[in-house]
Amino acid sequence: MKRLGVERYAKSKWKFSGLVAFAADREASGRKWSLTDQTQKVRMVEADPEVAEAFGLQEGAPVYERARLVKEGDSPTHTLTSYYRPEDVEGTPLVDPTPGPAGRGGGFAVLTLQGLEPHSMAETVYARMPTPDEAELLELPSGEPVMILQRRTFTRDGQLVEFARGVHAASRFAWSYTFEIPD
């Protein structure tokens, strides 16, 4: 699976075409996708140390957790768990547990309607061995590593509106990035 880098988050994809990031990846890979390729579990949880640090909250503060499992056919490809401040997403499709994206354009479109349009992101990607639960969920063969994606999504004024962690089967993805070189 080709995993687009910066291009997967293009506003033209989610704002105008209604595509979410995993669907953009599928299309770039020449593969079909459907709304049922993504399951999700939404719940209010206590912020762990990493989530609390990202949002500048106290550890244990309430946050919404939106955990998704993405599949291609019957095969799981990755997980993505996003965290949000309750005041940013309460009553929106982001806290609706219905399988599939959070409506046309997904979470970024929802945040935009809340006056929190995503403007910039910071991503970190690294490899590690999976936990036993991750290996089982992603149906990994013994010894296969995973790629971890950490994403922070900010508004134009620098407000963090989403912190996300993804776990990807390493043998099922290649990341591609195209961007302008800063001065």
Higher pLDDT, 48 or 110: 48
Task: Give the rounded distance of the alpha carbon of 128 from its chain centre.
Answer: 18
Does the structure show a pLDDT above 70 at 94? yes
How many other C-beta atoms are found inside a 10 Å radius of the C-beta of residue 134? 16
Q: Report the range of poorest mean pLDDT among 38-42, 47-51, 156-160.
A: 38-42
Contact 145, 127 (CB under 8 A): yes
Task: State the architecture of 2-176 in CATH terms.
Answer: 3-Layer(aba) Sandwich (3.40)
Phi, psi angle pair for 158, to nearest 5°: 90, 10
User: What angle (nearest 5°) sits at the alpha carbon of residue 8, between those of residues 15 and 82?
Assistant: 85
